[in-house]
Structure 1
Amino acid sequence: MPDLKEQIEKLEEMTGPELKAAYMAVFKERPHSHRHQWLKNRIAWGIQAKTEKGISKRFIKHGLENADLSELRATAPRTT
């Protein structure tokens, strides 16, 4: 399995349909946006959260006070 950095770097080369498929693989639901940069950011966040078993302590410690939390999930993804 590729490491976290390699997985995230691969996102830059993906087409729109590939990004949508990757989003569905990570979150088990259809994406709420079709913008490429939004998809890349969300997929990278999801991959990192799964790899590191949740949000990093560094983000919690340093990022929350300055983070834009408007797009963070309030509920778990729907299961199919």
Structure 2
Amino acid sequence: MQPFNEKQLLETISKGNEKAFEIFFLDYYPQVKGFITGLLQSPEEAEDISQDIFLMLWGNRSSLNTINNFKSYLFRV
């Protein structure tokens, strides 16, 4: 995957750009799912929760451009 500027990507997503969100999703989803799987020891539950997190992020996309450290924010969600 091509490297991207996270802050610019979040700004683009906050404006409703679905392609930017797809790039973002493809980069972060495996990390989130792996983290949650490690906590729950259930790949099925981890997948459901991970999907819910990204749905919530998309639903709140207009505020994503205000986040300074997204990775930290994401793993607190």
What range describes the TM-score normalised by the shorter chain of this pair?
Answer: 0.3 to 0.5
Instruction: State the TM-score, normalizing by the size of structure 2.
Output: 0.33
Larger radius of gyration: 1
Higher RCO (C-alpha under 8 Å, 6+ residues apart): 2
